[in-house]
Amino acid sequence: MGAGRPACRLQADLARSAVAASSFPAVEEARRSLGVRLRDLRRAGGFRTARAFAVRAGWSESKVSRIEHGVTSPSEDDLRVYAEHSGVPQDYQDLLAAASSIEEMYVEWKRLFGNGITPVQEAALPLYDRTRRFRIYEPGVIPGLLQTPAYATSLMGRIIDFWGIPDDAEQAAEVRAVRKAAVLRDAGRQFGIVVEETALRAVFGDTETMAAQLGHLMTVSLWQQVSFGVIPMGAERIMWPNEGFWVFDEDRVLIELASAEVTLTQPSEVSTYTRIFAELARMAVYGKAARALITDAINALE
């Protein structure tokens, strides 16, 4: 999701997402942590006050305060100034990596899809390849790993229309199909997948596309490595997330907001989402009961 993004683009990328990301708690906390780290560097470098450092750097005191309190995201030049004036120029690359990881936590879809959907699908391949346990929750669509090519093409086409990005839906769907074949059929992996019943009823494509997609779910639900659950519309709610999320092993969570994709890697945050998934999984029905709901959705297509 941008690990290879050139350092020179960091400032512009941060500026574009700063306002929206500032409302996401994990991003706020990460930015504050970086600010504390920069403050400690500044003090260790002999600048006991923000004013003294601001004078040396040619900045306003308020700029130092905003950076060190996590209000403003530092640019790459700001990080270089902190490292050099604090007497630790060797720390610059590490500081840059830390800032980049914060920027990568929150990536707006418009920016992520700037070159089309296919590069995004391709960039995800290494993460899928190394993951052994997937826990996936989707409230409104069929998860990508379970999508048929026709369903994926229709869904991606709507994304392309909404964001006004290059139309590569068919190519992106093909990349996704290759990924699915390589990952989902691996009996050495585990897949815990929970969807809301509304995801079965949301129509993408024509009746034939939806019937084939729901029929594919019937087949996948029988695979030994897949635990496929459906939360009935009438189920008593004991958990209430509004967005879909994917947990990769115990290392990473991807959350799909309406405006952006959020990546969480802090162990405590990953643990929170594994707990949320466990609660959602308790609400779901499986096996024959899940297939009965799929059958109902197929019949509703008529």
Q: Where are the domains of the chain?
A: 7-105, 113-300
Please give the average pLDDT of every successive group of 10 residues along the chain, which has 302 residues: 39 40 63 91 95 96 94 91 95 85 70 79 86 96 94 91 86 82 87 97 96 97 96 88 91 84 83 95 97 97 87
Give domain 113-300's CATH number out of 1.10.10, 2.30.30, 3.40.5, 3.30.870.
3.30.870
Per-residue confidence (pLDDT) for residue 24, from 0 to 100: 61
Q: What is the pLDDT of residue 98?
A: 80
> Across the strands, what pairs with 253?
247, 264
Secondary structure (3-state) at 180 = helix
Asked whether 265 and 252 are in contact (CB, 8 A), the reply is: yes
* 234 touches 300 (CB < 8 A): no
- Per-residue pLDDT at 13: 41
Q: For domain 7-105, is the CATH number 3.40.630.10?
A: no
Q: Provide DSSP, 218-264.
A: HHHTT-TTEEEEEE-TTPPPS----SEEEEETTTEEEEE-SSEEEEE
Say what the pLDDT of residue 101 is.
Answer: 72
pLDDT at 166: 84
Per-residue H/E/C for 136-167: EEECCCCCHHHCCHHHHHHHHHHHHHHHCCCC
